[in-house]
Structure 1
Amino acid sequence: MSEYTMLIGGQSRSTADHRDVENPATGEIVGRMPMGSRADLDDAVAAARAAFPGWAARPDAERQAACNAIAEALVRDQEELARLITQEQGKPLDGLGSRFEMGGCVGWTQATAALTLEPEVIQDNEAGRIELHRKPLGVVGSITPWNWPVLIAIWHVIPAIRTGNTVVIKPSPFTPLSTIRLIELMDAVLPPGVVNVITGPDSLGAAMSEHPGIDKIVFTGSIATGRKVMAGAAETLKRLTLELGGNDAGIVLPDADPKAIAQGLFWGAFINTGQTCGAMKRLYVHDSLHDRLCDELVALAQAIPMGNGLSEGTALGPLSNRMQFDRVRDLVEDARAAGGRILCGGAPGNGPGHFYPITIVSELRDGTRLVDEEQFGPVLPVIRYSDVDEVIARANDNPHGLGGSIWTSDPARGRDLAQRLECGTAWVNKHGAIQPNVPFGGVKSSGIGVEFGLEGLKEYTSVQTVWL
């Protein structure tokens, strides 16, 4: 069994203690994660700070070339990383699984490499010339989750180094191994210390938030942890990008065709076994279509194979860890007690692994936990409504604001209603679609700042105005 090492200043760093990383489909040990300490964090930050001046001074074209070289390394070793993701996270190799994740890693790296932040001329007249320049911040601390471990690491690290920053990344203790390997690949084409990876307990993340040597924290995860990150960063007034939880609402209008939209709704809710911040978490369906659409969704759910991600033909894997399995089971039981009708699923088996079946629940109301909270699993509440204006208000009456969608045969009306949703991204006749050139972020409790595209790249810079 492999004992992994951290990477600090271009050198492998061993630790005295390790923690087992389990395959959530089988319980087998995939590898052993090094348990880093505060001293290791201090060393990683020092290495990143030492590397920063030289990296920031590199010509933009050199940093662009380095990012493209990383993309080439990802293409070369994507199968190795995909298998490691499946083993420690659980998602299938094929379909919308780990090979899909690695394809996203390559695409986002290439797209981000192609971006540039040229100086902007604000004024150029007889009174003088004023230019706006963007400068790297320094050391970026990245804290990543377990649901898309390598892709989200790419979302954090590539724009940071593209703009001249250096990075210390801490992955989730549930999925650290693929991130360690990712950083090793990056380090092979970057100067020592530009990227560093530490692993260990959650307390290291809190120490990063407070660390005076870190200039910005980018965090993807739960709202509760995001609040702690923000509080920890307050003393040093760090820059923050927080992409937090979502409780995305989908709204099906009475003119929609249930059969035509069922596939889009299904995968909008259940991609990655529902373990996606921007997945659909609650579905409001007009009374006139409710029963027919439920039938379509149940038929799809019963036809989708769930199993070990390494087995051929698997479309959905297990929940990534026992903590999440217990939460999903608790929410379903609460919904059952509240009068929810379980149309399919709702009863996990006794076999190995954290498998929870695809579960559709109807006859719930706003105010029940499964509707109001983010389940982050393969469970979808389908809620009846009769008045469109009222349902828009109900969808917005929630502290989350990541995404939302309108489903209709009238795209123009869908666009108008989508703009009334209080969320960072609104889709019409799809849900959860993202692209590397389109800014993505939440409002209300779902986050601060945006990722992707030029707007996301700017988050890793400070503004300097130059008067000539």
Structure 2
Amino acid sequence: MTATQPAAEAPETAGETFDSLNPATDEVVGTYPVHTREEVEAAVERAREAARWWASLGFDGRAERLRRWKGVLTRRLAQLCTVVRDETGKPVADAQLESVLGIEHIAWAGKHARKVLGKQRRASGLLMANQAATVEYQPLGVVGVIGPWNYPVFTPLGSITYALAAGNAVVFKPSEYTPGVGKWLVEAFEQVVPEAPVLQLITGFGETGAALTKAGVDKIAFTGSTATGKKIMAAAAETLTPVVIEAGGKDPVLVDADADLDAAADATVWGAFSNSGQTCVGVERVYVHERVHDEFVAKVVEKSKDVRGGSDAAAQYGPMTMPSQLAVVRRHITDALARGGKALIGGVDAVGDRFAQPTVLVDVPEDSEAVREETFGPTVTIAKVRDMDEAVDKANATRYGLGSTVFSKRRGVELAQRLRTGMTAINAPLSFTGIASLPFGGVGDSGFGRIHGPEGLREFARSKAIARQRYTAPIALTTFTRKEKTDALVAKLITVLHGKR
């Protein structure tokens, strides 16, 4: 691969195609190929050669290209937001918010890759004092990224950007609901990296994603449902391909007796209903201290009254991007009401054919679907607890563990540390998503591995340990000519160093 060789286009196919639709109107906004297994494998082979060239640029060369890429995204931000709106239905302002956060991550990864992944000296210890010890982080090679539809810019860039900064080539399969956003991002990258197919696009359905998993990539980064994540893992296990999984969540908010209730209520409403509730770290459950429960609920209800989903300019959020999710939202509300819950705002009738209006539920049993399962829609359950110990216990009583939020003036950090989640925000909604230096990921059925921050860069690199002998040791340990007195000396030395009671 030479620096003047043109980049290959995304694999073309004369076969099956599919349409991308605006979920608010069903208008066709684009038509894309369904790439076959052979076409996916060909893309990975092209990426393999491109990866060698990309890695050869070094940290500074890659950082310069990433700076130029974020410049393109920034200057063309309005166009990108329009593409996001057309494929997801979300308001342009929400599309801009996620795009701006994605740009921030490009900037951070490019700037910090050398510091995080560059060669580092390590102490060699007394017994190996004649050795110079170093660790460096080398690119994996080719990373396959399978992205979601709910945040089609911010979420996949959390993997793509860090994989690129670490020196890898990337083959990207966006969701079948947002292929146009993926195409836009890849074409913007090709403007600043025309020499080689370092970032390629493949489109299609689940079969295309499965083909990418089995195409010989060096790692898969997947964001989506827990069920699909398990399938990705099973397929990757056949070739021992490592994976990073960012799956679903059932994220709680804890409201202590001393919390700023206005701020907590506003965060709850925004976290539960923005993006039509289609947010993996969005608010789905709230546990409120009994002393402030009624006042808090009243504030949430009041703030929810003016929130509305729709396709007009006055709507705060758009349609459900994936139509089948409407049935899940409707089922969870129905189950909650049938089991004694009350809808203070919304209810079953709030779920329409394209849009779901806000629903606030109280008195919902902890074993109901609305509390146990990820709803991924504009609903929230609010429960009264006697104290924050009970709140922590109930918040942790889930197989998920992605994000969480705590509102407390005195005990915020303590409560945050006790929550079994990958990230926690204190006294602000979802603030960890906007801090590029913080790792992002979950535990349990929310997945494993981390994107963003130093941990995200290392996720897409392999550590390489090197020990170099600087001089011949006076005591030879690794030889069959070693004397008994040498062993005795070593025993005495290790006792002095580590044998104290």
Same fold at TM > 0.5: yes
State the match for 2:104 in structure 1.
Answer: 107
Secondary structure of the 1:329 match is helix
Q: CA RMSD in A?
A: 1.8
State the match for 1:204 in structure 2.
Answer: 208
Tell me whether 1:129 sits opposite 2:128 in the alignment: no
Tell me whether 1:415 sits opposite 2:413 in the alignment: yes
Shift, 1:372, TM fit: 0.7
Contact 2:337–2:364 under 8 Å retained in 1: no
Distance 2:45 2:265 in 1: 52
Aligned residues with identical type, % of pairs: 35
Letter in structure 1 aligned against 2:436 = P
1:291-306 matched pairs, under 5 angstroms: 291-306=294-309
Shift, 1:21, TM fit: 1.4
Shift, 1:348, TM fit: 4.6
Deviation digits for residues 53-72 of structure 1 (CA, Å, limit 9, x no counterpart): 12112222111101111101
1:67-466 matched pairs, under 5 angstroms: 67-94=66-93, 97-115=94-112, 116=114, 117-123=117-123, 126-190=129-193, 191-211=195-215, 213-308=216-311, 311-348=312-349, 354-410=354-410, 413-433=411-431, 434=433, 435-466=435-466
CA, structure 1 residues 137+226, in 2 after alignment: closer, same or farther (shift >3 Å)?
same
Letter in structure 2 aligned against 1:346 = G
State the match for 1:3 in structure 2.
Answer: none
Shift, 1:314, TM fit: 2.8
Secondary structure of the 1:51 match is helix
Deviation digits for residues 133-186 of structure 1 (CA, Å, limit 9, x no counterpart): 100001100000100012222112111111111111111111111111110111
State the match for 1:4 in structure 2.
Answer: none
Letter in structure 1 aligned against 2:236 = A
Shift, 1:126, TM fit: 4.5
Letter in structure 1 aligned against 2:430 = G
Larger strand proportion of the pair? 1
State the match for 2:497 in structure 1.
Answer: none
Query: Structure 2 regions of 5+ residues with no counterpart?
Result: 1-5, 469-501
Q: Which sits farther off after the overlay, 200-209 or 385-394? A: 385-394
Distance 2:318 2:413 in 1: 34
Contact 2:406–2:425 under 8 Å retained in 1: yes
Normalising by structure 2, what TM-score?
Answer: 0.87
Distance 1:260 1:188 in 2: 43
Distance 1:15 1:154 in 2: 29
Letter in structure 2 aligned against 1:344 = I
Q: Which sits farther off after the overlay, 383-392 or 354-363? A: 383-392
Distance 2:81 2:301 in 1: 30
Normalising by structure 1, what TM-score?
Answer: 0.93
Letter in structure 1 aligned against 2:329 = V
Distance 2:132 2:27 in 1: 64
Shift, 1:8, TM fit: 8.3
Secondary structure of the 1:342 match is strand
State the match for 2:473 in structure 1.
Answer: none
Contact 1:167–1:195 under 8 Å retained in 2: yes
Contact 2:288–2:391 under 8 Å retained in 1: no
Secondary structure of the 2:404 match is strand
Shift, 1:431, TM fit: 3.1
Letter in structure 1 aligned against 2:22 = N
Shift, 1:350, TM fit: 8.9
Letter in structure 1 aligned against 2:210 = A
Contact 1:347–1:357 under 8 Å retained in 2: no
Shift, 1:347, TM fit: 4.2
